[in-house]
Amino acid sequence: MDILSVLNPEQRRAAETVEGPLLVLAGPGSGKTRVITHRIAQLVRNLGVSPYNVLAVTFTNRAAREMKDRLAALIPGQLDPLTIGTFHAVCARILRREGPAVGIDSHFVIFDDTDQQTLVKKVLRDLELDEKRYAPRALLSHISKAKSELIGPLQYGEHVSSYWEEIVLRVYRAYQEQLALHKALDFDDLIMSTVNLFRQQPDVLLRYQTRYHYLLVDEFQDTNIAQYALLRQIAGKYRNLCVVGDEDQSVYSWRQADLRNILNFEYDYPDAKVIVLEQNYRSTKNILSAARGVIAANALRKEKHLWTANDTGPLINVVETYNERDEARFVVDEVQRLTRRGRCQISDCAVMYRTNAQSRALEEAFIRSQLPYRLVGATRFYERKEVKDSLALLRFAFNPADNTSVLRIISFAGHGIGAKTVQHLETLGTSLGLPMFAVMLLVKHGPEAVPDFLPDLAAPRLPQAFRLPFTSRTEQLLSDFCALLERVLESARHHDVPELLDYAVRESGLREQILDGSEEGEGRWENVQELAAVAADHTGIESQIGLEALLESVTLSSEPDNYREEKNAATLITLHAAKGLEFKAVFIAGVEEGLCPHSRSTDDPKQMEEERRLFYVGMTRAQERLYLVYAFRRNLYGGSQPGLPSRFLADIPQALIASNRALAGENKPAAPATARPAAAPRPVAQAAAAGVVYQPGDRVRHASFGEGIVVSSKVTGADVEVSVAFPSVGVKRLSLAFAKLERL
């Protein structure tokens, strides 16, 4: 039987072209995994190549498993000698065997993200550098970037041009020394060390070049400089390097993926053959045409003419809802409508979004409707560390006797308070019948101060000859931390919940810890901003009443019994995590300026192109139905702001979008949401807070400080910081993520 008979003409060409360099440009849904596996089967089964001489690399264990499963059916009994795995797995295997030649112990351990952060924190202590000033995540991000470009500490030192880079260099050197001391490598080291091994040991490289006659690479657009250098080394003898990818789906530059690898492949290999897979097997004609309209606006791409033999399918639903709650309600109602009418199963539906913070409103809507869902690639909103840390501050303000919240606040704001001190606090509190905060008050002020802050407690009666079991230094640390908690309680007496949250996350240093200069930190801060949007519902309400309502709402929304982990459940997932998946019905939520595309990309043309590719990836996950949903107003940055439809919507041909008339039938969304053809985007407001840009001289009103005049306004990541001069209290710096200003 001809094993290639199931392939279309272009797929077959790719499978049969086995000699020399080959670039396969595979559009979404064009069967690239089928091509790779059938090409391996062609080599082994039809051409008699030993599986021992074939190397196939990809990026995820899931993709490697899928490749192995398919090959088991195509070349049964011949998988064992074949090398299939991720870049990191393949390199780890090589280094365990060959590493001792360059001083790498064969029993090395691999440090994960947590291990790396712990090590960098130790390095900062050893170098007497302030962890709050030089965030470990930001330092690791710069070190990772250097390693992905094959820049070791020595080479990094040759290009230092700023004080920050000097700090990175010092940490980089010490970090590598500590890794060596632990006989450890991080994930970036696995690649860089293998490249360096081959450079330093030509005989070792020759052995691997001689073994691997044929190399196949999946998702080539996601490779970084180090990975591409590794591939070129191994393929150096026979030059049978087949790379499969799609520059239109390159969305991982923040992981150091370098789009130039796929765009410049033909320059590196002038004799390379190029085959384009343009037939899409996944989506309807309408979905594919809409996606083509969006991606065509990018400049950094190779032209493809994607087509499909599938049905035309329903029009694209571009849906405007009033706010994020209405958006979530529309999605849930539409999922229920589709399943009731037998259009699909619940598990056939996916809701995608640009930022993890957007999942909060969607999760709550699914829970309220008792509709099963599964959150992929993220922790549920109210279980995320930065959200739980912020809530601990509010829980303490509501109930100062809550030891659990105090312990959590110590973990991120109790600098210098160690486990032994905490144990003493708990033991002393148990013996005296006092909560931990009362013990701290006892340390700081003496017994008489306890009832002032905890009126339900009388001043403790201390045993005769009672002595606190703390050193003077520890007493000072506890006094300082107690003062922080006192300030939080004082703020709760005078401010509503949004203002209290704003004050507490700043005063505790939590905001500074989260915004550590990394993109991950920006994402975590967006989650705190989303919590601020929830808090904004309690604006102007007396603090204790507002706190009670908010905390009860959070508890009910995060109740584990309300979440059912079922196979037949809708998928909630970020656009980044959705790559490689497919669903009958896809909802992309938050298709607005500032979200999709993200505000961080507004001033960078290359980043804006990546945002467009990310949106394209989301669109092409849909098989039959595609909903692009945006809100007229959205609770962002602590208040309700006008939304701007994403500029990407204007690139979809109008004929493909459901008109109001078309919505009367199959495409009609559930009330109260309305749908309309995509309009040309309105002008993009400066910064993340669309429509809330303040200029010097603007008159504003603050709930606590009264009227004032704007002195300055600047964008800080996804937030906007406004300095306002108030006659009563002077100049205040306010975050629009929390402070609700009214323009006068």
At 676 the pLDDT is 37
Residue 166 has pLDDT above 90, yes or no: yes
Q: Which residues are catalytic?
A: 32-33, 218-219, 249, 621
Residues 6+ apart with CB under 8 A from 260: none
> How much is the average pLDDT of 115-137?
88
pLDDT band at 246 (very low <50, low <70, confident <90, very high): very high
At 716 the pLDDT is 58
* pLDDT tens per residue across span 523-581: 889 889 889 888 888 888 888 888 888 887 776 565 433 334 457 899 999 999 898 89
The answer to whether 46 and 38 have CB atoms below 8 angstroms apart is: no
Q: Which residues of 665-684 are buried (b: 16+ CB within 10 A; e: fewer)?
A: eebebeeebebebbeebeee
Three-state secondary structure call for residue 572:
strand
At 661 the pLDDT is 32
> How much is the average pLDDT of 220-244?
96
Residue 668 has pLDDT above 90, yes or no: no
At 457 the pLDDT is 80
> How much is the average pLDDT of 721-743?
72
pLDDT band at 679 (very low <50, low <70, confident <90, very high): very low
Residue 697 has pLDDT above 80, yes or no: no
> How much is the average pLDDT of 11-38?
95
Tokens of 37: 């596996």
Name which residue leads in pLDDT, 664 or 610: 610
Positive or negative torsion for Cα 180, 186, 190, 195:
negative
Q: In what order do the strands lie in the sheet with 730-735?
A: 730-735, 719-726, 706-716, 699-702, 741-743
* pLDDT tens per residue across span 304-334: 899 999 999 999 999 999 889 999 999 999 9
251-265, 604-618, 706-720: range with highest mean pLDDT: 604-618
pLDDT band at 638 (very low <50, low <70, confident <90, very high): low
Tokens of 403: 């030891």
Residue 282 has pLDDT above 50, yes or no: yes
At 727 the pLDDT is 66
pLDDT band at 688 (very low <50, low <70, confident <90, very high): low
SS (H, E, C) 602-613: CCCHHHHHHHHH
pTM of the full structure: 0.74
> How much is the average pLDDT of 87-102?
92
- How many residues can be counted in the chain? 744
At 271 the pLDDT is 95
Residue 250 has pLDDT above 70, yes or no: yes
At 640 the pLDDT is 63
Residue 43 DSSP code:
I
Name which residue leads in pLDDT, 79 or 567: 79
Residue 238 has pLDDT above 70, yes or no: yes
Within 10 angstroms of residue 146's Cβ, the number of other Cβ atoms is: 21
Residue 453 has pLDDT above 90, yes or no: no
At 384 the pLDDT is 87
> How much is the average pLDDT of 572-594?
93
**Helices and strands in the chain: count of H runs, count of E runs:** 27, 22
At 103 the pLDDT is 92
The answer to whether 284 and 584 have CB atoms below 8 angstroms apart is: no
**Alpha carbon distance 56, 36 (integer Å):** 9
Residues 6+ apart with CB under 8 A from 103: none
At 503 the pLDDT is 94
pLDDT band at 489 (very low <50, low <70, confident <90, very high): very high
Residue 426 has pLDDT above 50, yes or no: yes
Average the pLDDT over each of 286-300, 654-668, 680-694 and give the range with the smallest value: 680-694
Q: pLDDT > 70: what percent of the chain?
A: 90
Q: What is the dihedral of CA 278, 280, 284, 286, to 10 degrees?
A: -20
At 680 the pLDDT is 37
At 464 the pLDDT is 67
Positive or negative torsion for Cα 210, 214, 219, 221:
positive
Name which residue leads in pLDDT, 645 or 706: 645
pLDDT band at 340 (very low <50, low <70, confident <90, very high): very high
Task: State how beta strands 349-353 and 373-375 pair.
Answer: unpaired
Average pLDDT of every residue of the chain: 86
> How much is the average pLDDT of 137-156?
93
Residue 675 has pLDDT above 50, yes or no: no
Q: pLDDT > 90: what percent of the chain?
A: 55
Residue 169 has pLDDT above 80, yes or no: yes
At 540 the pLDDT is 81
* pLDDT tens per residue across span 345-403: 999 999 999 998 899 999 999 999 999 999 887 777 888 899 999 999 998 998 888 88
DSSP H stretches of helix in 264-323: 265-268, 285-295
At 53 the pLDDT is 96
Three-state secondary structure call for residue 665:
coil
At 504 the pLDDT is 94
Residue 669 has pLDDT above 70, yes or no: no
pLDDT band at 636 (very low <50, low <70, confident <90, very high): low
